[in-house]
């Protein structure tokens, strides 16, 4: 008997991270990490969970768009959808009236990301595999048929992708065994938020070193002198061998994993992130002013869809040994295609739900591999770390075949709200998700939804200090 999708539910879940300064940067100064969350229901007990990430206000608008996209799946046979996930992705994009309010960008596109991710979660659950394992076990033909190829054939064809995947196929098991043993390399952003005091930055940096990390990122862009001071604090700690964990020796700054990253004497790497705050000339001059702290790259130096602007910044900073990274807010695979074609980036930062789900991510992974650009996904927020470890595993095992120079962002916020939270080993690397029922690892605890759903969750009604104070005033 066939299983069909019979309905869906959405939840506007918001966490009060603005109270602690978590997530603050030069552009985004007031962040309540939020999940526009969807569950797809079927005629059996099979379900699929997905979400996209926002930072508060507007999350309800995304939930409304998710309902419109998810409604296109009602009545569909799940095995017919799973049989060709690229074709299914095209179908989800194809409502002409919904497409008009994109197309393939903005609210409708991130809503599609939530729905497509939920469908992939359901697919993995149906096969009793974590999402990454479902994909890496596919044949090259199945994987290519799962990706979104429209508008990118001038950068990579399906035939080229097949050749690339087949070249890596015989060694997939070897790479899978290796990453299960050692974990996937990670970097930490938790110490570098713009709203943190110098003392908190120093403490969190030392804690990150003790946790095994050797790649660190800080937010910049509000004030050059302030950024230089904060960068020097981080550099003074990560470059000092006295802070290394007991028994750990400094890494070789000129080793194959670190060469070209401006690593310091302990083999530690610093990256900086401006979150789109500058015009192009301003970005170039500001980053030159931070040359002293030796960053590997500047992330999001200008508007995320300014392809030529990124290329100009990259050319200008190359003599200073500073690279350019972007992708967190790249609307779709076409923006990535152009960034790669224009030689505008050194590092490709896919986002698991700014792109419209796994199918579109696969197309960007394939393009990045063809162009030889390292993929270091954006994470953090709520749920993004849970998502992206799957994507980096797919990239390493099945697509690029390398994790030597890759690092995956880790931010230690809000993982406790997920049934299968991501985790980090003692060497600062992501552990490999391994539970047969976790799918895409994004299922949230029902209690967390009930507590933080906006505006009627128990936290927002009874516990948030500002709202609580307002209620007390009104009661008098």
Active site residue 378: yes
Cβ-contact 208, 224 below 8 angstroms: no
Catalytic residue among 11, 294, 378, 420: 378
Instruction: Write down the residue that tokens 């790479």 correspond to.
Output: 175
Q: What beta strand segments (E) does 173-212 contain?
A: 184-188
Please, which residues bridge with residue 279 across strands?
none
Nearest 10 degrees: Cα torsion 53, 38, 350, 133: 140
- Map residue 169 onto helix, strand or coil: helix
Instruction: State the pairing for strand pair 323-326/347-348.
Output: parallel
Active site residue 329: no
Please, which residues bridge with residue 82 across strands?
none
Task: Write out the two tokens for 25.
Answer: 């940067």
Cβ-contact 58, 124 below 8 angstroms: no
Alpha-carbon distance 30 to 58, whole Å? 13
Task: Write out the two tokens for 150.
Answer: 């429209």
Cβ-contact 397, 172 below 8 angstroms: yes
Q: Is the dihedral of CA 235, 237, 238, 240 positive or negative?
A: positive
Alpha-carbon distance 385 to 407, whole Å? 12
Question: Cα 329 to the chain's mean position, in Å?
Answer: 10
Which residues make Cβ contacts (< 8 Å) with residue 373, sequence separation at least 6? 340, 345, 346, 347, 348
Rounded alpha-carbon distances, angstroms, from residue 421 to 74, 80, 363, 440, 446: 29, 30, 26, 11, 14
Instruction: State the pairing for strand pair 215-219/5-14.
Output: unpaired
Closest CA to 302 of 1, 22, 27: 27
Catalytic residue among 11, 168, 219, 417: 219
- Map residue 430 onto helix, strand or coil: strand
Alpha-carbon distance 340 to 320, whole Å? 21
Q: Which residues are catalytic?
A: 219, 378
């Amino acid at each position: 008997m066939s299983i069909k999708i019979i309905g869906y539910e959405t939840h506007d879940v918001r966490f009060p991270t603005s109270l602690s300064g978590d997530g603050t940067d030069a552009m985004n100064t007031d962040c309540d990490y939020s999940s526009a969350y969807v569950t797809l229901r079927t005629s059996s007990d099979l379900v699929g969970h997905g979400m996209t990430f926002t930072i508060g206000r507007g999350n309800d608008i995304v939930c409304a768009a998710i309902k419109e996209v998810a409604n296109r799946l009602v009545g569909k046979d799940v095995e017919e959808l799973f049989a060709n996930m690229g074709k299914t992705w095209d179908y989800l994009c194809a409502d002409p009236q919904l497409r008009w309010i994109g197309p393939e960008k903005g609210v409708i596109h991130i809503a599609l990301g939530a729905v497509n991710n939920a469908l992939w979660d359901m697919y993995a659950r149906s096969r009793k595999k974590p999402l990454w394992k479902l994909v890496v076990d596919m044949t090259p033909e199945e994987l290519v048929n799962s990706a979104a190829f429209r508008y990118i054939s001038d950068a990579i064809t399906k035939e080229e992708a097949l050749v690339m995947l087949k070249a890596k196929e015989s060694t997939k098991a070897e790479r899978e065994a290796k990453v299960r043993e050692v974990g996937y390399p990670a970097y930490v952003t938790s110490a570098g938020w713009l709203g943190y005091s110098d003392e908190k930055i120093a403490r969190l940096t030392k804690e990150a070193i003790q946790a095994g990390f050797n790649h660190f990122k800080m937010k910049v862009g509000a004030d050059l002198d302030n950024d230089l001071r904060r960068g020097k604090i981080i550099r003074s700690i990560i470059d000092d061998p006295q802070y290394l964990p007991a028994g750990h020796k400094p890494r070789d700054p000129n080793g194959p994993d670190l060469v070209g990253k401006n690593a310091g004497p302990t083999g530690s790497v610093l990256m900086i992130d401006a979150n789109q705050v500058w015009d192009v000339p301003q970005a170039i001059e500001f980053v030159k002013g931070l040359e002293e702290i030796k960053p590997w790259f500047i992330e999001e130096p200008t508007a995320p869809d300014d392809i030529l602007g990124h290329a100009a910044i990259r050319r200008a900073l190359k003599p200073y040994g500073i690279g350019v990274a972007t992708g967190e807010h790249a609307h779709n695979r076409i923006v990535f295609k152009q960034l790669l074609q224009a030689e505008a980036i050194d590092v490709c930062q896919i986002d698991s739900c700014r792109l419209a789900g796994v199918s579109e991510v696969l197309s960007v992974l394939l393009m990045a591999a063809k162009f030889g650009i390292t993929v270091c996904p954006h994470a953090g927020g709520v749920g993004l770390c849970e998502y992206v470890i799957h994507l980096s595993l797919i990239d390493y095992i099945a697509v690029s075949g390398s994790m030597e120079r890759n690092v995956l962002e880790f931010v230690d916020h809000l993982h406790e709200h997920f049934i299968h939270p991501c985790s980090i080993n003692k060497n600062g690397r992501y552990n490999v998700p391994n539970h047969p029922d976790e799918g895409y690892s994004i299922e949230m605890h029902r209690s967390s939804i009930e507590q933080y759903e906006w505006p009627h969750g128990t936290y927002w009604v009874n516990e948030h200090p500002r709202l609580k104070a307002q209620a007390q005033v009104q009661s008098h």
